[in-house]
Structure 1
């Protein structure tokens, strides 16, 4: 047992999903993680054609919602390490991914929170797949939180709110994985995808923890 594992035995930490003691486990207990098998879907608002394009773990409710809250607001980065494994393993080879990007926070919001949860997750997924992470997307406006908006309001809130810092050329931009924490209407992901395509990306696939 290494020092970090030994230390966990003496820390009063609980699984953010079921709230049972974690013991040696990190992030999320194995029982909860097994209940969220990574899925891939060909049906979402992101695509009109039925081609598998979105990977996720489960619905945004119950234990998975509590887990994301612990990650997003309490700064539990161990959660990202735990969730990235099954998500990365579900990526099909035929996607032929060449890089990973994340949905960005506005700089002001990121300074306040201290980190971007989507970026932390994306970096872990990229590491698991041996892919480069590209810190290239930028949020140009400090938009309202999508959680308090509905339908058309969400679309208007994030319209033209993202840009790529420089045109993406070369092999790393042919097929890109775009990562976020939650998918609801897809407005944010679609706007980010549009910015990537305009910058030279050929194909965008998507990954979220919950939808």
Structure 2
């Protein structure tokens, strides 16, 4: 067991969502879990043609913001199950998702962090949906951190940064998954790579927007 995980297991646990006492629940307390309400966004910033193709747990604030930050920067990996399970509840059956594809980190950044939070979330969503989680995307080059760029720079930063390998993907629609969406540039670049590789239908899911 990694040292951080061992320390978290030994210390009294606090809920990352509200800082209240965390009982036997994994990741989030019952009250914070009950507040996670997935929804299909009627208006998507990805593009007009993607309206209704994005499911989220809401805006990047409150419980979702604190939980994502605890997962991403605090190493609280057990949060992936709570967040991913809630997100999966909002995926419409009509989408007929056949696989979940997480947005990749550059290998160097993943080694530095020790994990890809989107892949942890993707596994949880896939398990809830009963489909495989397939890392079908890879970054072909390192990019500047999107959060540090202006909106107009983000699309250029990611141009040609992703490549898809669909050999392990089952035929049919896929669910592209990331932790947070700001302008949608990362999801658009990944979606374009999947389309270019022959995936006909790509839906999207993020914990927070």
Report the TM-score when normalising by structure 2.
0.91
- Residue from 172, 184, 190 that aligns with 1:192: 190
The size of the alignment, in residue pairs, is 202
Instruction: Give, in whole Å, the separation in 2 of the partners of 1:190 and 1:113.
Output: 24
CA contact (8 A) 1:98 1:131 kept: yes
Q: Verify: 1:45 aligned to 2:45, yes or no.
A: yes
Q: Which runs of 5+ in 2 are unaligned?
A: 1-7
More displaced stretch, 45-54 vs 85-94:
45-54
Instruction: Give, in whole Å, the separation in 2 of the partners of 1:131 and 1:167.
Output: 15
Q: Cα deviation per residue 1:152-172 (whole Å; 9 max; x = unaligned)?
A: 1111111111001x34587x2
User: What is the CA-CA distance between 1:70 and the residue it aligns to?
Assistant: 0.5
Q: SS in structure 2 opposite 1:185?
A: coil
Q: SS in structure 2 opposite 1:194?
A: helix
Instruction: Describe how 1:96-107 pairs up with structure 2 within 5 A.
Output: 96-107=96-107
State the Cα RMSD in Å.
1.8
User: What is the CA-CA distance between 1:129 and the residue it aligns to?
Assistant: 0.9
Equivalence for 2:115: 115
Q: Cα deviation per residue 1:149-204 (whole Å; 9 max; x = unaligned)?
A: 1211111111111001x34587x242000000001100000000000000010000
User: What is the CA-CA distance between 1:65 and the residue it aligns to?
Assistant: 1.1
Report the TM-score when normalising by structure 1.
0.90
